C-alpha cells in the first residue's frame, strides 16, 4: 500500500463513470467536497446515484449535479432545502428514496461492516415500512433495513497526512467519517496536507486504512 496517497486533480475524474454510485459527506452542503463535485459536473458524468444526508441547495453541495440533470437516484434523509430535487421527483425525472437519518447512518455502517442489515423500530406503522420485511422480537415490531454501499465515497477534510489520516473541522465532520466505511474507493479533498507523523493520532477521525486517495483543495 502506497504511503503517499496524494494525487493530482487530473487523476480524480477517471474514477467516475456514467451510472456510478457515490456516497458523499456533508450536511446542507457543509462538509461536501466542492472540488470533486465540480469535477463530476465539468466532465458531465450522468446517471449518478447519490447517497448522503441531503441534496443541499440548487447551487451548493451536490445541488449543482441535481440541477444539471446528472443524477438518476438519491438516497437521503430529506430534500427540503433543495426545491429542484422535489420538482424533479414529482416530474418523475429523479428517483428519491427518503430514509430516516439514523436509519441511513446505520445502513451505511452495516454496509461497511459486512452485515446483512439492521433491525429498527423507526418507521413501523408509517409509509417507511412499505415494501420492507418486518420482524417481531420480544413482542416488538422492527423493520429490516438493508445495508448501503457505493462505488466511490467523496469526503471533505480539513487536514490529512500523506498516508491519508484525516482530521475534520468542527461540524463539517458530520457524515464524512461514516461514508468512508462503505465504498469501494474513498477520495478525500483536503485543505492541507502534512507529512506522516505531524498529526497527533488522538486527533485522527478517519484512519488512513479507509482512505485510498487525497487531493489538495484548489486554491490551497
CATH number at residue 207: 3.40.1080.10
Domain that holds residue 14: 9-117+147-216
Q: For residue 140, tell me if it sits in a domain.
A: no
What's the average model confidence in pLDDT over 72-90?
96
Cβ contacts of 4-8, under 8 Å, gap ≥ 24: 4/162, 4/163, 5/162, 5/163, 5/164, 5/208, 5/211, 5/212, 5/213, 5/214, 6/162, 6/193, 6/213, 6/214, 6/215, 6/216, 7/213, 7/214, 7/215, 8/215
What's the average model confidence in pLDDT over 40-51?
97
Percentage of the chain surpassing pLDDT 70? 99
Say what the pLDDT of residue 63 is. 97
If one counts the domains in the chain, the total is: 1
Instruction: Tell whether the model's pLDDT for residue 167 goes beyond 70.
Output: yes
Summarised one tens digit per residue, pLDDT across range 183-204 is 999 999 999 999 999 999 999 9
Q: For residue 124, tell me if it sits in a domain.
A: no
pLDDT band at 219 (very low <50, low <70, confident <90, very high): confident
Say what the pLDDT of residue 1 is. 45
Amino acid at each position: 500500500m502506497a504511503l503517499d496517497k496524494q494525487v493530482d486533480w487530473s487523476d480524480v475524474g477517471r474514477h467516475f463513470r456514467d451510472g456510478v454510485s457515490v456516497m458523499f459527506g456533508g450536511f446542507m452542503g457543509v462538509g461536501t467536497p466542492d472540488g470533486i463535485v465540480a469535477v463530476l459536473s465539468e466532465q458531465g458524468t450522468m446517471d449518478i446515484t447519490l447517497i448522503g444526508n441531503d441534496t443541499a441547495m440548487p447551487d451548493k453541495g451536490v445541488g449543482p449535479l441535481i440541477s444539471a440533470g446528472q443524477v438518476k437516484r438519491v438516497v437521503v434523509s430529506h430534500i427540503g432545502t433543495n426545491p429542484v430535487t422535489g420538482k424533479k421527483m414529482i416530474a418523475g425525472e429523479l428517483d428519491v428514496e427518503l430514509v430516516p437519518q439514523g436509519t441511513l447512518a446505520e445502513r451505511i455502517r452495516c454496509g461497511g461492516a459486512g452485515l446483512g442489515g439492521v433491525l429498527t423500530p423507526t418507521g413501523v406503522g408509517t409509509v417507511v415500512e412499505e415494501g420492507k420485511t418486518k420482524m417481531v422480537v420480544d413482542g416488538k415490531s422492527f423493520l429490516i433495513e438493508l445495508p448501503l454501499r457505493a462505488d466511490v465515497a467523496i469526503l471533505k477534510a480539513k487536514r490529512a497526512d500523506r498516508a491519508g489520516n484525516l482530521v475534520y473541522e468542527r461540524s463539517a465532520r458530520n457524515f464524512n467519517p461514516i461514508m468512508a466505511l462503505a465504498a469501494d474507493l474513498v477520495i478525500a479533498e483536503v485543505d492541507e496536507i502534512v507529512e506522516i507523523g505531524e498529526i497527533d493520532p488522538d486527533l485522527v477521525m478517519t484512519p488512513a486504512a479507509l482512505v485510498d486517495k487525497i487531493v489538495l483543495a484548489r486554491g490551497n
